């Protein structure tokens, strides 16, 4: 695999140009983040004006990246070299942002 795609993680069930040699199993990564007092204050000010609440957007993006990184790490520990069928879900639990990334860890090889 080229360096840029040395560990592909895709939402699709297949990866073009590769075939699934082995299904390793279900893999997931989870992260929970809270907005600090400063973030809540800035978000409160932004919500009065309207529009995007960038303090929340930044935390959600960090959480998404962290969940996918954890998914990748677990898949590698299982012996996989790719993840297919990635599904991202989010929820808000008492001002805590929870992001979960779930997929199927696989071993792929070029066709």
| C-alpha of 30 from chain center | 8
For residues 90-97, give the mean pLDDT.
Answer: 81
Between 71 and 3, residue with greater pLDDT: 71
pTM to 2 decimal places: 0.80
pLDDT at 87 over 60: yes
pLDDT at 49 over 70: no
**In the numeric block, which tokens belong to residue 28?**
């997931």
Which residue in the block uniquely carries the two structure tokens 């930044």? 58
**In the numeric block, which tokens belong to residue 7?**
């560990």
Give 5-45 pLDDT, tens digit per residue: 589 999 999 999 999 999 999 999 999 887 654 455 555 55
Which domains are delineated in the chain?
Answer: 3-110 (3.30.110.70)
70-101 per-residue burial string, b: 16 or more CB within 10 A, e: under 16: bbbebbeeeebbbbbbbebeeeeeeeebebbb
């Amino acid at each position: 695999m080229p360096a840029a795609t040395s560990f592909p993680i895709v939402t699709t069930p297949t990866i073009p140009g590769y075939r699934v040699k082995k299904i390793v199993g279900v893999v997931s990564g989870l992260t929970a983040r809270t907005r600090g007092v400063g973030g809540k204050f800035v978000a409160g000010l932004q919500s009065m004006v309207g529009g995007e609440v960038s303090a929340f957007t930044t935390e959600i993006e960090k959480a998404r990246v962290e969940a996918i990184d954890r998914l990748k790490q677990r898949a590698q520990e299982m012996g996989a070299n790719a993840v297919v069928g990635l599904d991202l879900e989010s929820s808000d639990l008492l001002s805590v942002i929870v992001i979960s990334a779930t997929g199927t860890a696989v071993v792929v090889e070029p066709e």
